[in-house]
Amino acid sequence: MKNLPIWLTVLLELSLLWPCALCMNFIKSVTLQYSSPNHTRVKRGWQWEPLYVLEEQPITQPIYIGQLKSDSDKEDGSVRYILSGEGAGTIFIMDGHTGRIFVLKKLDREEKPFYTLRAQAINSLTGVHVETESEFVIKILDINDNEPTFINGPYIAEVPEMSPIGTSVIQVTAVDRDDPTNGNHARLVYSIIQGQPQFSIEIKSGIIRVASQIDRETKDQYHIIVLVQDMIGNLGALSATASVTINVSDINDNAPKFQLKTYDMSIIESASIGEIVGVVLADDVDTGKNAEIVYSIEDRGDFDVFSISTDNITQEGIITLKKVVDFEKRNRRYHIQVRAENKYRSDLYDLTTIRVTVVDVDEPPVFLKKEYYMDVLENATVGSHVGSVTAKDPDSASSIIRYGIVQNKYSRFFDICKNGSIMTSQPLDTETHPWHNITITATEAQNPALVSEVQVYIQVIDVNDHPPELQNEYNIYVCEKTKAGQQVQTISAMDKDPVFNHRFYFMLHPEEASNENFTLIDNSDNTATILALRNGYSLSENPVFYLSIIISDNGVPSLSSTSTLTLQVCDCGMNNNVESCINRGFLWNFFNSGAFIAISVFTTLLLALAVIVHIKCKKSPIHFSEKGEDLKENIVKYDDEGGGEEDTEAYDITGLRHQTVMRENKRKRNIRTDIQSMYRLSLGLGPDVAIFKEFLSEKLEEANADPCGFAPDSLHTYSYEGTGSISGSLSSLETSSWEMNVY
C-alpha cells in the first residue's frame, strides 16, 4: 500500500497517452488488485549475487563484477535496469537490458572500502517500476599492499642500572592500513634485530624488557632496532624498523675512592689560622647527587690542628689550619686521617692518610699581648710613665727589638723608650680626648723588614676640674594661687667631667636662710625640687623672686657652683595652670599686671603736662635774651687786661649768637641809660659795683620767672675790677673784684 500513490501517478500519466478504453481497463485492474482484501499477490523480487572488486586491480577495459536481475524479467527486453548512487556512471556502469555491472577504474580499499548503489527495474514500454528501488553494496577486497608503520617514534627510554631481568622499559607500537578482517594482512609481529642479549621484546605487544643485568658504569646507553612484520611474518609479508635509545640511569652503588693512600703536604710556621694547607680529591664513578662526597678528619692523630671542608662544586676536600703551628716549640710533622664518605650512604666511604710538615721561617717579633689597655691621669705631667709593651723574637736566634710609634693624631702626645715604656710628651685633657689609640711597632734590629704592630688603647682618667652647673636655663613661673608646700619646679645639673657615676648635691645659699617664700629639696637622684613656703603670690606687688642655690659634685676634690634662679609670678587663670604662663612668657605677665597700669597712667599724665607747658610757652614772650646775646654750652670768661678796641677784636662774640632765632617784640622797660648791655660795657667805662649788681639781679629774676627758658649748660663768669680804667679792663688782679656765677 505504501507504493500506491506512486502507481496512481504513473497511471495518470499513461492515461494521457493511451486510448481511453485501454487506460480505464488498466486502472481498473490495478485498483482491484490493491483494493480487494481477498486478492493474493504473486511474490516477485531482485536476484543478484554478492558484488566484490579486488583493490589495486589494473583495468584497461570494463571488468564484469556481477549482475542484478528481477525474477519477473523474461529476457524479452520488456524490463530495463537503471543504476544510481556512489560512483554510478564513473566507476561502475550497468547494462540496462541485462543488469550486468562493470567496474571502470582501479580502486583502493584504504581510500574507500565499499560503495553503496541503488538499482531500479522498470517496464521498457510504460516506465512503470517492475521492482521497487533496491540498495546494494559493492565491497572492495583488500590485498597486502601497505607495510606497517611505527607511531610516536623515535623512541627514547630510561632504565635504572642493575634493574631485575624482565623489567619493562618501553612499548613500541606499529599500525597497518590493510584490512585486519581479511586474512593476516594487518596482523603484526615484533622482534629485535639489534640490542640483544641485554633486551628482549614481546612479539605481539611490542613491550621491550630487560633481558640481562646492565651496569651504567660499563655502558650508559643502548641503541635498539626493532623490526615489525605483517602477515605474521609469512611469505609476502611487509615490514618496518624503528630505533629505540635506552639510557641507563645511575643508582648510588659505588663508594668514593682516593687517588692516593698517602698525601704529603707542608705549611710554614708563620701561617695564620684558616690558611689552606692542601687539597685532596676522591673519585665517585656515580653521577649527580649519587656522586656527592662529604670529607671529615678521623678522631685520631693530630685531628685538632687541622680542619677539612667540602667544595660542593669541585667535590674537593680543602684542608685548612685550625691552630697555629710553631717550628721551634712543637713536633715538626703532623699526621691526620681523612675520610671521604658518600653524602647519602654512610656505608660507602674511603680513607687516606695526610702528613703535614712544618717549615721554619724567619718570623717578625711577636708582642706578648694582642692589644694593650693603659690609663693615665689627665693632670699627669709631661714625661709621666703610662705603661710598657713587650715583644720577642720567636726564632731560636733572638734578635734585638726596637720599638716605635706609628704617626697619627694621637701619637704626638706620647713617646716610647727603647725598653718599650710609653711616656707622655704633652699635657692631656679627658674632655678633649678621653681615649688615645696608638700603634706600636716592633722591628728586628738585624732585619728591619720584619715588623710587627700592636694596638695600644690609652684612657685619660678624668680629674675633677669642672664644677657642676644647671642642666638648662630654667624659666620658672609661680602661679598667684600657689599653696604652701606645692612643687614649683624640678631642676637638674650637669658636669663637663666625663664621669659615669656623677652625684650632685643641691642646697640653698646661706644668704637664703631667711627666705620665707621658697625652699629647695634635694631629691637624691641628681635633681632638686623648689617648693613654695606660703599661700599666694601677687604679680602686682612682687612679680619676680630670686633664689640662690649651691650645686656640688662627688668628685675628688669636690667642686661646687652657685646659680641664681629667677621665679616669675604669673596669673595662671581660673584653672591655675602654669602651662599658660610658659606659653605667654614674661611680657604678657608684665602687661597683665598692675605695674603696667600704673606706668600707663603716669605716662598719660606726663604727656598732658607737656602739652600744657608747650601751649603756655607759645603764648609767653621770651625775656631771657637781649640783643642777640645767646647762652650756649660754653664757658665764657672775660679776664683780659688788654685795652680799648683791641678787646673787641680779641673776643668776637658774633659767633656765639643764633642768627636764625626770631625775637618777639618785648615790652619797653625803663632801664638806666648808663646800663644797657654787656656789649656797651665792653666799649666804654664800666659802671660801679652797685649798678652792675642790680643789672645781674634783674637778669637772674627774668630767667627764674621765664617758664619757657631751659637751663643752659653754660657758665658765664663776670668779673669787675672797679673804675679807673678807660678801657673797662676785666682783669682779675685787683683784690677788690667780686664774682657772680650764673648757671
State the Cα–Cα distance between residues 151 and 206, nearest whole angstrom: 12
Task: Give the distance between the most distant pair of CA atoms in the chain.
Answer: 213
Same domain, 341 and 391: no
pLDDT digits (tens, 9 = 90+) for 497-506: 766 677 889 9
For residue 447, the model assigns a pLDDT of 83
Residue 648 has pLDDT above 60, yes or no: no
Same domain, 347 and 432: no
Closest by CA to 452, choosing from 464, 461, 444, is 444
Using DSSP, state whether 282 is helix, strand or coil.
strand
Same domain, 590 and 477: yes
C-alpha cell read off for 674: 648808663
Same domain, 513 and 419: no
Chain centroid to Cα 202, Å, comes to 66
pLDDT band at 211 (very low <50, low <70, confident <90, very high): very high
Mean pLDDT over 205-216 rounds to 93
For residue 437, the model assigns a pLDDT of 92
Same domain, 127 and 163: no
Same domain, 493 and 544: yes
In 577-702, DSSP assigns E strands to 635-637
pLDDT digits (tens, 9 = 90+) for 229-288: 988 878 878 999 999 999 999 998 899 999 899 999 998 887 889 999 999 999 998 888
Domain assignment present for 341: yes
Domain assignment present for 52: yes
Structural domains of the chain, count: 7
For residue 689, the model assigns a pLDDT of 61
Using DSSP, state whether 24 is helix, strand or coil.
helix
Domain boundary among 401, 434, 461: 461
Mean pLDDT over 309-338 rounds to 87
371-377 vs 414-416, strand pairing mode: unpaired
Domain assignment present for 665: yes
Which one has a higher pLDDT value, 222 or 44?
222
In 384-541, DSSP assigns E strands to 385-388, 391-392, 401-405, 414-416, 421-424, 435-444, 451-461, 469-470, 476-479, 487-494, 504-508, 518-522, 527-532
Domain assignment present for 620: no
Order of strands, edge to edge, in the sheet holding 207-210? 168-171, 207-210, 199-201
For residue 294, the model assigns a pLDDT of 94
Q: What is the CATH number of the domain that holds 217?
A: 2.60.40.60
Same domain, 540 and 480: yes
Work out the burial of residue 45: count CB atoms within 10 Å of its CB; fewer than 13 is exposed, 13-18 middle, 19 or more buried: exposed
For residue 652, the model assigns a pLDDT of 52
Chain centroid to Cα 448, Å, comes to 50
For residue 737, the model assigns a pLDDT of 40
Residue 717 has pLDDT above 70, yes or no: no
Same domain, 438 and 449: yes
Domain assignment present for 612: no
DSSP count for the chain of H helices, then E strands? 8, 45
Chain centroid to Cα 20, Å, comes to 114
pLDDT band at 10 (very low <50, low <70, confident <90, very high): very low
For residue 58, the model assigns a pLDDT of 87
Mean pLDDT for the chain overall? 78
For residue 374, the model assigns a pLDDT of 93
For residue 630, the model assigns a pLDDT of 46
For residue 739, the model assigns a pLDDT of 42
For residue 125, the model assigns a pLDDT of 87
Contact 11, 32 (CB under 8 A): no
Same domain, 475 and 585: yes
Domain assignment present for 616: no
Which structural domain, as residue segments, surrounds residue 33?
Answer: 1-41
For residue 679, the model assigns a pLDDT of 46
Same domain, 194 and 108: no
Mean pLDDT over 664-689 rounds to 49
239-249 vs 155-160, strand pairing mode: parallel
For residue 474, the model assigns a pLDDT of 87
Residue 665 has pLDDT above 80, yes or no: no
Domain boundary among 141, 170, 203: 141
Contact 279, 309 (CB under 8 A): no
Contact 108, 66 (CB under 8 A): no
For residue 667, the model assigns a pLDDT of 52
Domain boundary among 563, 594, 625: 594
Mean pLDDT over 359-385 rounds to 88
For residue 588, the model assigns a pLDDT of 54
Domain assignment present for 600: no
The pTM (predicted TM-score) of the whole model is: 0.41
Residue 580 has pLDDT above 50, yes or no: yes
Mean pLDDT over 653-663 rounds to 47
Q: Which of 6-15, 602-611, 656-665 has the highest mean pLDDT?
A: 602-611
Same domain, 305 and 264: yes
Residue 468 has pLDDT above 50, yes or no: yes
Residue 425 has pLDDT above 80, yes or no: yes
- One-letter amino acid for residue 206 of the chain: G
Rounded to a whole number of angstroms, the CA Rg of the chain reads 72
pLDDT digits (tens, 9 = 90+) for 64-116: 988 888 888 888 888 899 999 998 989 999 988 888 999 998 898 888 989 99
Residue 664 has pLDDT above 60, yes or no: no
Domain assignment present for 352: yes
